Amino acid sequence: MKRLFLLLSIIALVGCGSKSTEPVTSPGSGQGEATAGGEVADEGRCMPDGPGYEVTEYDTSGDNTPDVRKLFKTMGEGSLARLVLVCREADLNGDRRKDIVRLYNDDGRPVREEADRDFDGTIDEVTHFTNGRMTLREVDTNGNGMIDTKIFYEAGVPVRAERDMENRSTVATWQPDRWEYYDEGRTVRVGTDVNGDGKVDRWDRDEVRLRNSALTADNAVKQ
């Protein structure tokens, strides 16, 4: 399998060229070259784990090194067979280590995305999708390896957030102490748990924004 991985890389170097948009595609089987920790050499996860896969790599930066990898899987049989994107990953900063990966279901819709936004080799942001649309983003903002912020979306728009400002959460228990609510991208209400009992002790509100939103909703009902 090491030979297969090296072959894919060589083909990509020759075929992509400087900022080429032409993909290099090769049938895949088996797994990519792994390190002692079980991860592929470029920390990538879009690797074939059996027959029926195709790997496509792109060089989007023009440095003659593929920085985007797509993994396709053959779905169906015979005349109904089709290739569906099941995984996409990218090296965002050119260090030859994949920083972001998006996973798709059998219909080609995204279900989960993991990203290393500060390029330290650790995932610090996880995005969840429902029916192909973003519904939840979990973020480790302080780099301690724990999720401390959850942002909830409706129709692709953030509507509220929960934050653990005091780092009270554990892997098993989520314990936010701040709740934020948004209206058209603007924070209109913030609840704060001061003593850590899981209940809001203080509310801060944008009264003008809330009043205008209420008037808008009332006028819409009347019309």
Q: pLDDT tens digits, the chain, 223 residues: what are they?
A: 334 333 344 333 333 333 333 333 333 333 333 333 333 457 789 999 889 999 999 999 999 999 999 999 999 888 899 999 999 999 999 999 999 999 999 999 999 999 999 999 999 999 999 999 999 999 999 999 999 999 999 999 999 999 999 999 998 999 999 999 999 889 999 999 999 999 999 999 986 665 665 555 555 555 5
> What is the reported pLDDT for 174?
96
| 211 Cβ contact partners less than 8 Å away, ≥ 6 residues apart | none
Beta bridge partners of 115: 100, 125
Say how many domains are in the chain: 1
Q: Is residue 58 part of a domain?
A: no
The answer to whether position 188 is within a domain reads yes
Cα-based torsion angle of the residue sequence 36, 41, 43, 48 in order, rounded to the nearest 10 degrees: -100
Determine the pLDDT at residue 29. 31
Residue 113 resides in a domain: no
Query: DSSP 3-state assignment of 63?
Result: coil
Element (H, E) at 207: helix 207-222
Q: Is residue 190 a contact partner of residue 203, using CB atoms and an 8 Å limit?
A: yes
- Dihedral angle, C-alpha 200, 204, 209, 214, nearest 10 °: 40
Is 34 a domain residue?
Answer: no
Please tell me whether residue 6 adopts helix, strand or coil conformation: helix
On whether residue 63 sits in a domain, the answer given is: no
CA distance 119 to 75: 34
| pLDDT score at 101 | 97
Amino acid in position 79:
S
Residue 177 included in any domain: yes
* DSSP code for 34: B
168 part of a folded domain? yes
35 lies in some domain: no
Give the domain range for residue 158: 124-223
Please give the Cα distance from 107 to 127 (Å, whole number).
Answer: 18
Q: Measuring CA to CA, which residue among 57, 53, 45, 58 is closest to residue 28?
A: 53
Which residue type occupies 33? E
- Is the Cβ–Cβ distance between 55 and 39 less than 8 Å? no
CA-nearest of 105, 101, 95 to 113 is 101
pLDDT computed for residue 50 by the predictor: 87
